[in-house]
Structure 1
């Protein structure tokens, strides 16, 4: 089965710019419905495709948090080059971590939506995501059970080298929440693991800006853009972006 590398998505040509960031082991497809919703409301939307994602476990394990951050910076520069002075960012899970980092470090960010953001993960937790992804991806591409078990065991014995860098990124972003001086909407799924609710509350409490919200969506799990509250989430996100100061 031929696997086509996911490309970055670009929608709209409106005066307000948003960058949407997908999850670890996810792809731009997970952010596409939200991007299209924002396009309908006259937003320019860019969705970076993170290095190593969507191409199978071999590509994933060769990528790193700095690769993904570079993808964010490239998207940021693209929108700046198009003339956008203010850029909002929304992200899910890994994307939420990087959205928070963008607000902590980049000057032109005017607001963020952080969804399903992890906190306090250890390398074993993250590697289980890699193992599940390996199993699901190889099953999707038609590999037999023996091959799947062999590859899962391989990545169990030989974990992705950058997992500790990923863990450090999560911890560093949570440690720098006080540097966020822009409006923020923090969201979590009511059907997600309780740790994500705790993380959301920690993020909300840690952000220094007084324009911030914390919201749960009862019929939604970890991948919030695909959850049962999708339309409510999209509308709330769009209204939050509408409320920002756009230059």
Structure 2
């Protein structure tokens, strides 16, 4: 693969595509990927366009570019496996849902982890009208060089892990832990992606495993409830009580791995007779 942060773990004929969040890196999905691989899945962690580089690299891309990265990785993976599952964290969850809506024949199941349609968690000081206006600000050139610097707890409840991640994030090594802040223009693209995926949720017919931290500091549980209400496919929910937003690396990551592997395995098992009959 083209970037050292991307990963591929070879396994069986059921594949999982993992998608990181805005300003994040595939590293935040690696532990989950290893766990799913141990459960027998072939796993790919994609790097979204513009990520794992500089702020300028990110600002040179749009949400359509980020989604194009997902679709290209999914197309490559589906050529090597019988079934494709897709799972994402935060903005990555929205991209996973969009793939399932746009390419229903490609996606057998979706993992929706910490879905972020709105940044409305308890640690976020700006919500509602202001975030809604970011696309307008971008069109008008307002705040072009402005950045929302992330604040503690950085989506991580485990204090020791939080210290490690924040040190890497502010060290300037964006490949390890992503950028330390969200540029306004990138957030404007995120708002536009959110609007697009909201409209498409009824087109998601694949089974969805929706996992969210009950005390999410970045995106409230209302985001998960939106998915559960709007998608057309069957839903299984998991609320985690000892994690914050970054549930793929926080205290309950092992539970998330086990439940995700179980969900995808059951979907694959139930799909086999129908695929064989077809």
Using the size of structure 2 for normalisation, the TM-score is 0.73
Equivalence for 1:171: 195
Correspondence for 1:47 among 32, 45, 50? 45
Q: Which has the higher contact order (CA 8 A, sep 6+)?
A: 2
1:87 aligns with 2:104: no
**CA deviation vs aligned residue, 1:53-72 (integer Å, no higher than 9, x gap):** 12232222222211111111
CA distance 1:68–1:6, change in 2 (3 Å): farther
Kindly indicate whether the alpha-carbon contact (under 8 Å) linking 1:201 and 1:214 is maintained by their aligned counterparts in 2.
Answer: no
Equivalence for 1:148: none
2-structure distance, mates of 1:103, 1:181: 8
Structure 2: any 5+ residue segments left out of the alignment?
120-130, 136-142, 151-165, 174-180
Equivalence for 1:149: none
1-structure distance, mates of 2:147, 2:107: 31
2-structure distance, mates of 1:124, 1:53: 24
Kindly indicate whether the alpha-carbon contact (under 8 Å) linking 2:210 and 2:224 is maintained by their aligned counterparts in 1.
Answer: yes
1:221 aligns with 2:244: yes
**CA deviation vs aligned residue, 1:125-178 (integer Å, no higher than 9, x gap):** 899x95326x98783139xxxxxxxxx8xx97xx42x54332121112112211
Using the size of structure 1 for normalisation, the TM-score is 0.82
Equivalence for 2:69: 71
CA distance 1:169–1:138, change in 2 (3 Å): closer
Kindly indicate whether the alpha-carbon contact (under 8 Å) linking 2:216 and 2:245 is maintained by their aligned counterparts in 1.
Answer: yes
Query: Secondary structure at the residue paired with 1:239?
Result: helix
CA distance 1:54–1:189, change in 2 (3 Å): same
CA-based RMSD of the aligned residues comes to 3.0
Equivalence for 1:139: 170
